Amino acid sequence: MHVGRLLFLFFACFTLAASGLAREPKAEIKKLSFKHTTLQNGLEIYSIEDHSSPTVAVQVWYHVGSKDDPNQRSGFAHLFEHMMFKGNEHLTPETFEKLTENVGGENNAFTAPDVTVYHEVVPSNYLEPILWAEAERMSSLALNDANFNSERDVVKEEYRQRILANPYGEFSLAIDQKSFAAHPYKRPSIGNIAELDAAQLPEVKAFHSTFYRPDNATLIVVGDFKASDLETWTKKYLGPITRPRVKIPRVTVDEPSRKEDRHEVLFSAKAPLPAFAVTYLAPSVRNEDEAALDLADEILSGGQSSRLYQSLVYEQQVAQHVSFSADLREDLGLLTFRVIVASGKSLPEAEKSLNDQIEKILKNGVSEAELDKAKNRFLTGKLMERETNNGKASALGEAAVIYGDPNHINTDLAKYQAVTASQIKDVLNKYIAGKKKVLIEYLPEAKKEAAKPEETEKL
Amino acid sequence: MKNGRSHLLLALFCLALGQDLFAIGGVDTAPPPAAPHAVSFTHPKETKLNNGLRLIVAERPNLPLLAVELIIRSGAEADANDLAGTASLTGSLLTKGTEKMSAPQIASAIESLGGTIFSSGVLDSSNAGVLVISSKAEAALPILADIALHPAFKQEEIDRLKKQSLDGLRVALQQPGSVASYVTGRVVYGDGEYGHAAGGTPETLPAIQRADIVKFYQTYYRPDNATLIFSGNVTFEQGKEYAQRFFSDWKTDQAMVSPISTTTGTWKPTSVVVDMPGAGQASVSLTKPAIKRDSPDYYSGLVANATLGNGFTSRLNREIRIKRGLSYGARSLLDARRDAGAFTASAQTKNESAAEVALLLQGELKRMKTDPVQGDELKSRQALLTGNYARSLETDLGFASQIAGLAVFNLALETLDKFIPAINAVTTKDVTTFSDKYLATPSSLVIVGKASAFSDPLKKDFPETRVIAQTDLDLNRADLVKRK
């Protein structure tokens, strides 16, 4: 629970489901009409009233993520996320469970590179108390050594479960670490045991006062409520929280452009099959190329009819797994190809197959049929997101905070619909052709003999 | 940090000020909840086609989506032990080619509609289904019918899937959690029909021949052993018409099969450690046979299980995660099946804490009897179960899958409406009776991890533990040890 590194997948899911509907405009999707208000203390509130089920989804998006981890404290934003459940003088630990799962709702949170999101679904009669509880933890936290240390142990177990118990956990961590040279995106959200151990209780308080403030937060409420009640309750509970006068610190590091290709080799005692990743630097999620890159993502690796699955997994059988992700974040992103090599095949064989596919799409572009397919899959994904209050709340939060434009939930379809096949070819060439790549190889320990010692690094 | 010290002090000052203001202007205690709003669900309708196929339609017109699932009441329990994985391969191969369409053509046709297609074989059931925008149903349904009624089982596809499954197993066998799930199956069921790995093992998958797959398909994939479920933007009349048009040709000339009768073998409590010297964590489980899905104890069992290990504030999570920080999450599962399924309580922890976690799991199972769930704790677990249930019905696929869960066990559709009142009617006495019978009695212990880190402390409380080296593990055998 209190997810951490799911973060990445979470956004991957959003970007994977790329597109609109070029040829068949009749399958219209209803616009979501939302209300927006800003409290005097700077808190942004977006809401959608929908009485189709007696539940309300509540999300608080804080504009702080693992890129804001303090120096030498990799994993701190995520560790902090766990501490947000530990309460203060008015808010006993487990209040969130008492107001959610114990009355039939649910709650969780996740830390992403750019944001930390706390989300609940409650029976609609619990909206007022859950808003009170969110206001309490926005206003202050009060931990002691005992609950700080014990929750830190939980986070270390989360690290062991996600990274150490998983044969490809360290491979996933290495992708960001090796792909960014300067930007704090190179530090994994989950952190590492040594830096988690180094964290001190007073740092929790400092992090709260620096980033957990109303003018750095966005409240999303979707479901069964009356607009007048929501207005009264948000004013009553969240209104009195003061806005500090100091500016919110922001990451301003510029990632330098790559001067040369890099080749990193890592070894694992647990990985039964070799794996490798190839990354290129990509633009911000707010860049105009975003829609075309998302559609390229879908065409290359969305579903079993995608290019990479068809060629590497199905036809040539050189890969046990292959994916491409346009992993675009607030400051910049990565275009990441990942391959786990099939047994009986060599890494160079798989690498050659991948390079052939990349060359082919850069040279010949994509077909109209592939583009239509990607747009149709995007539309279905968008409809599925609308099935639940929580799905709608996530979409609205992402639009407001990540895209910086709440209307994105209603305008993205047309944006994807307008993308042409030649644009997709152009953006892929823009970010890949002639650009410097980072190649990360992750090899079973048994292959270590074959590699040169100076190229190797033990995780 | 970008801001200097003076700014940081100012920030702390502002926070203190904020708290002061809050004490004056804000509210220090939680407001009470308002009166609850009632939950209501669609009532699905059903009928039967002439060929014996049961049809169930849930009209959910809210969004232009449609989920269609064909569920077969047989699966991996019907595998021969030395051909474990037959049901799983058979199910997965449906989308890999028909007499008319190749695997890439099927994937491309459905994905071009923006939809997804799936098929699988697991314990007690097999399935095939699609999720599409409802206006594309006319194009998607012939493909679903084709893969279910006319799979080709081409040798080339069988070979490809076997190879992919074996590579998947190679990865799974390096993860303590998945090794533990294979091992608990054997520990609870021994040679019984639920004992083998449903997805097959490194030894059985290569042994499965096309003839085994074809035979499995011909025996169990038949209209009178299946239910077709529509959930989404469709009317009952339209659903019937679709079913008639695409599934009424489905015939079988073989005699009806009765479901496999399973046994739990001769289970007795035992302790097993699988030594994985490289494991990054230890997986610790207590497990034992429990109840059938149609048992009168089912709802009491769900409440007992929820008290123990379902949800963040369950007893196991409270003791192991919240109080002691020993795991990212501790949980339990009551896996009610056609025959008696297993109860399993588990947590992953650092190797050094495995013995401590085993003892904590054991203590909490016993405490179900000595410290009965009642009052607010009981109410909270009932609310957790009914809330999770209501949310599972929010999506078209979720609703279809709840119906499929009933159809597999031949349970009446009214069971959908019974769930919430039945859970709310469970009393302290019901849970205690269930716990006496199934939880507080001895269980089997399974630990998969680096044995050198926990074998000494483990000896004290579990002296009779068998240690199996990872290299000696044989999932094909009830005793789990490779024959030398």
Over 90: is that where the pLDDT of A170 sits? Answer: yes
State which residues of chain B have pLDDT below 50.
1-25
What pTM value is reported for the model? 0.92
- Chain A CB within 8 Å of residue B321 CB: yes
Identify the pLDDT of residue A75: 97
Q: Residues 7..26 of A with a Cβ closer than 8 Å to B: which?
A: 26
Look at chain A and report how many structural domains it folds into: 2
- Chain B CB within 8 Å of residue A247 CB: yes
Look at chain B and report how many structural domains it folds into: 2
Same domain, yes or no: B148 and B191: yes
In a domain, A255, yes or no: no
Tokens found for residue A233: 């309750």
Higher pLDDT, A371 or B257: A371
**Could you give the C-alpha distances from A17 to A172, A288, A313, A374, B343, in angstroms and in order?**
21, 18, 21, 8, 37
The three-class DSSP label of residue B418 is: helix
Q: Residues 167..186 of B with a Cβ closer than 8 Å to A: which?
A: 167-168, 170-171, 173-177
The boundaries of the domain holding residue A135 are 35-238
**Helix A290-301 × helix A408-417 angle, to 10°:** 70
Same domain, yes or no: A189 and A298: no
Contact residues, chain A, for B166 at CB < 8 Å: 343
Q: Which of B215, B247, B279 is the last residue of a domain?
A: B247
In a domain, B371, yes or no: yes
Identify the pLDDT of residue A25: 38
- Chain B CB within 8 Å of residue A151 CB: yes
In a domain, B265, yes or no: no
Contact check, Cβ <8 Å, B174/A209: no
Positive/negative CA dihedral, A179, A185, A190, A194: positive
Identify the pLDDT of residue B28: 83
Identify the pLDDT of residue A93: 87
Contact residues, chain B, for A205 at CB < 8 Å: 12
In a domain, B393, yes or no: yes
Same domain, yes or no: B465 and B367: yes
Same domain, yes or no: A374 and A411: yes
Contact check, Cβ <8 Å, A239/B25: yes
Same domain, yes or no: B136 and B185: yes
Mean pLDDT of the residues in chain A: 91
Nearest residue of chain B to residue A319 (CA atoms): B164
Contact residues, chain A, for B310 at CB < 8 Å: none
Same domain, yes or no: B181 and B315: no
Mean predicted confidence (pLDDT) in A283-302: 97
Same domain, yes or no: A149 and A266: no
Contact check, Cβ <8 Å, B313/A94: yes
Contact residues, chain B, for A171 at CB < 8 Å: none
**Nearest CA-CA distance, residue B332 and chain A, Å:** 15
Span A7-26, pLDDT tens digits: 333 332 332 233 333 344 34
In a domain, A404, yes or no: yes
In a domain, B429, yes or no: yes
- Chain B CB within 8 Å of residue A245 CB: yes
Same domain, yes or no: A182 and A279: no
Same domain, yes or no: A116 and A160: yes
Same domain, yes or no: B230 and B277: no
In a domain, A243, yes or no: no
Minimal Cβ distance to B278: which of A128, A168, A269: A269
Same domain, yes or no: A276 and A159: no
In a domain, A251, yes or no: no
In a domain, A254, yes or no: no
Domain holding A56: CATH number? 3.30.830.10
Identify the pLDDT of residue B24: 37
Contact residues, chain B, for A81 at CB < 8 Å: none
Minimal Cβ distance to B327: which of A157, A239, A304: A157
Over 70: is that where the pLDDT of A450 sits? Answer: no
Q: A interface mutation test: which of B22, B147, B397 has the most A CBs within 10 A?
A: B22
Angle made by CA atoms B440, B293, B148, in degrees to the nearest 5: 140
Same domain, yes or no: B351 and B415: yes
- Cα–Cα nearest to B20, from A139, A23, A445, A357: A139
Identify the pLDDT of residue B137: 97
The boundaries of the domain holding residue B340 are 271-472
Mean predicted confidence (pLDDT) in A238-244: 96
Contact residues, chain B, for A383 at CB < 8 Å: 63-65, 133
**Nearest CA-CA distance, residue B39 and chain A, Å:** 6
In a domain, B259, yes or no: no
In a domain, A229, yes or no: yes
CA dihedral A216, A221, A226, A227 (to 10 degrees): 40
Span A78-128, pLDDT tens digits: 999 999 999 998 999 899 999 999 999 999 999 999 999 999 999 999 999
Same domain, yes or no: A180 and A295: no
In a domain, A417, yes or no: yes
Tokens found for residue A215: 């003018």
In a domain, B218, yes or no: yes
> CA–CA separation, B29 vs A229, rounded Å?
18
Contact residues, chain A, for B281 at CB < 8 Å: 157, 160-161, 164-165
Over 70: is that where the pLDDT of A137 sits? Answer: yes
Same domain, yes or no: B124 and B86: yes
Over 60: is that where the pLDDT of A402 sits? Answer: yes
Query: Does the model's ipTM exceed the 0.95 cut?
Result: no
Same domain, yes or no: B207 and B289: no
- Chain A CB within 8 Å of residue B278 CB: yes
Same domain, yes or no: B78 and B212: yes
Tokens found for residue A214: 């109303």
In a domain, B208, yes or no: yes
Identify the pLDDT of residue A133: 97
In a domain, B33, yes or no: no
Contact check, Cβ <8 Å, A163/B394: no
> CA–CA separation, B187 vs A83, rounded Å?
39
Span B243-294, pLDDT tens digits: 999 999 999 877 777 766 666 567 899 999 999 999 999 999 999 999 999 9
Domain holding B354: CATH number? 3.30.830.10
- Chain B CB within 8 Å of residue A269 CB: yes
Same domain, yes or no: B319 and B424: yes
Identify the pLDDT of residue B256: 73
- Chain B CB within 8 Å of residue A53 CB: yes
